[in-house]
Amino acid sequence: MTSPSAPGPVSSPRAQDDLTGFRPSSARVLVRSRRWLVALAVLLVLVPVGAWLADRAGTGGQGEPSVRGVEQKERWAQAVLLVLSASCGEDPRCGTGFVLEIEDETVVVTNRHVVEGRCSTTVQPLDGSAEVAVTEVRLATDLDVGVLVLDEVVDRSPLVIGADVLLGQAIRVVGFPGAQPAVLPGYVQRIEPAGLVLAIEADHGASGSPVVDGASEVVGQLYARRDEGCCVALPIADVVEAARGAAPVATCS
């Protein structure tokens, strides 16, 4: 297996969010999707998100969703959001974002390929409450990082940034694989120029998910799948640096 180099600018705005087939290469990060994911993504946009998410999570629209492997009381549970971006003549996309405080501004961080080229974007909290509109999208130029500014003040506590991870360290990925909230356990398999290679199985919708350590502090952001049972994440320091330099982009018309 050839080790990918550090990811460059994402140049595939037509690619749907899908970790299955989204692989880093020596030149750029590309996203490849299967046809059946298009139907799933369309369903995400057409069905009311709150009720659909609650039903998918097993609540039947009542009470808090039952999240695989996570207690709602976890301090990072309220900081993780489902990201839905509407189509601009292309297939809709879904992914995951999380709340961070960057230079005294509270924003939502996701993957660039989840929101690039979108007409409109909303976020849906883990608890299934009403979605919130995104008023500004900022994109990093050199990494697969997107920054979302919300239509209302974010009243959710941002994730705490953790220390650098170690080889073999246990981690968890918190996100919406298959558009269903879940926590996926794994460990750091390798540390490479492309980022943190994680022994973990993630599905479409998990792009942009935070990687948290045993102290529930964020140490990385998932952005690609390499092989079955193996994904790649950017170290959180790289994510923060890219987010600081992200520039606002116009939505499509």
CA distance 132 to 77: 17
CA 34 from centre of chain: 19
Options 3.20.10.10, 2.20.25.10, 2.40.10.120, 2.60.40.10; which CATH number does 7-253 get? 2.40.10.120
Q: What are the extents of the domains in the chain?
A: 7-253
CA distance 208 to 4: 19
pLDDT in tens, 112-143: 999 998 888 999 987 778 889 999 999 999 99
pLDDT in tens, 196-230: 999 999 988 999 999 999 999 999 999 999 888 89
Backbone torsions φ then ψ of 185, nearest 5 degrees: -80, 150
pLDDT in tens, 183-200: 999 999 999 998 999 999
pLDDT in tens, 156-169: 789 999 999 999 99
To the question of pTM greater than 0.75 for the whole model, the response is no
